Amino acid sequence: MTTAIEAPRKPSVLRMLMRDVGGTISLVLVVLILLTALLAPWISPRDPYETDLLAIMQPPNETYWLGTDGQGRDILARMLYGLRVTLAMGLASLIFGGVIGAVVGFCAAYYRRADGTLMRLMDILLSFPAILFGLALAAIFGPGETSVVIALSIATIPLMARIVRGSALVVMGLDYIEAARAIGMSDARLIWRHLAPNCLSAIFVFSTLRLGQVILLGSALSFLGLGAQPPLAELGAMAAQGRNFLFIAPHISVIPSVGIFVIVLAFNLLGDALRDALDPRLRI
């Protein structure tokens, strides 16, 4: 970590991002993805659940730009709505897990006595791969979006805690924190005003990269039948349903799979570019 104390200003980050080709492309892609997800109900050509029984498993054509699935539903519409569900699942896990993880990280950095216990706890959580949380939660609560979100949140907590603690510790070593303490600034205020802003870039980079991973994991769980359940439009579940027709209508599973790939790729590229722009020495 650097000793930069001022929070990075947004315009400069943006400009630095745009300097890099990968950064520009990924930024545009991410903005497009977010916009599409937000506007899905308005831009979707039709209802994602409407079945056209006379147009089953059609390849892409003028009426159905991305073709239809096994039940004659418009894949384009399902992609648009599916994007929302997939993104929502990812964002929810990132926010729940991230907030808890960040609180733990700040506490560990600030209250040195709690550090050992907290980080050992995080180590324990870190000892389980995310997929195991997914399996366990699906076993307990039954397959569904909620199970996936809880599992991925839990898997995100220790990662975020480590990142935040690491960044916060650097700041903690600086004199002015001691000074602020000396003048009687409250703990909460100190963390909020001085620690948090200095960890923002790390949190930001980590979150972007993590969102990609979480989406990948969530879609894999849905693909296995442990996440979103049909008929809900979700990219992983769509790919799983389409797998049955792989040899007669490959587009049904290939299109949602490519969709996931593009989304995750966009977030990963953006994360890399952000890291290079904000702080190249960050090891995330």
CB of 180 to another protein, least distance (A): 32
136-195 binders of another protein (CB under 8 A): 136, 138-140, 142-143
Contact 37, 262 (CB under 8 A): no
SS3 content of the chain, % helix, strand, coil (to 5): 75, 0, 25
Answer for which of 236, 238, 278, 279 binds another protein (CB under 8 A) is 236
Say which DSSP state 173 is in. Answer: T
- Max Cα–Cα distance, the chain, nearest Å: 76
In the DSSP assignment, the letter for residue 249 is -
Residue 168 or 240 with smaller CB distance to another protein: 240
Nearer to another protein, 140 or 200 (CB): 140
State which residue, 160 or 196, has the beta carbon closest to another protein. Answer: 160
Neighbours of 39 (CB within 10 A): 12
Residue from 16, 29, 57, 172 that binds another protein (CB under 8 A)?
Answer: 57
Measured at the alpha carbon of residue 140, what is the angle toward residues 210 and 86, in degrees to the nearest 5? 35
Q: Are 77 and 64 in contact (CB under 8 A)?
A: no
Query: What's the min distance (Å) between Cβ of 28 and another protein?
Result: 17
The verdict on 41 binding another protein (CB under 8 A) reads no
Q: In the structure encoding, which two tokens stand for residue 192, read together? A: 């909020």
What's the rounded Cα separation, in Å, for the pair 5 and 7? 6
Smallest distance from the beta carbon of 231 to another protein, in angstroms?
Answer: 5
Decide if 235 contacts 264 (C-beta within 8 A): no
Q: Which of 163, 217, 238, 282 forms a contact with another protein (CB under 8 A)?
A: 217
One symbol per residue from 79 to 118: x for binding another protein (CB under 8 A), - otherwise; what is it? ----------------------------------------
Q: Cβ 176 to another protein, closest distance in Å?
A: 30
Which 3 state secondary structure label does DSSP give 74?
strand
- Kindly state the number of chain residues that form the binding site for another protein, as judged by CB under 8 A: 61
Compute the least distance from the CB of residue 186 to another protein, in Å.
Answer: 33
74 strand-pairing partners: 68
Please provide residue 114's backbone torsions phi and psi, each rounded to the nearest 5 degrees: -80, -15
Q: Which of residues 255-274 bind another protein (CB under 8 A)?
A: 257-258, 260-261, 264-265, 268-269, 272
C-beta separation of 267 from 259 below 8 A: no
Q: Which residues bind another protein (CB under 8 A)?
A: 49-51, 53-54, 56-57, 70-72, 120, 123-124, 127-132, 135-136, 138-140, 142-143, 212-213, 216-217, 219-220, 223-226, 229-231, 236, 239-241, 243-248, 250, 253-254, 257-258, 260-261, 264-265, 268-269, 272
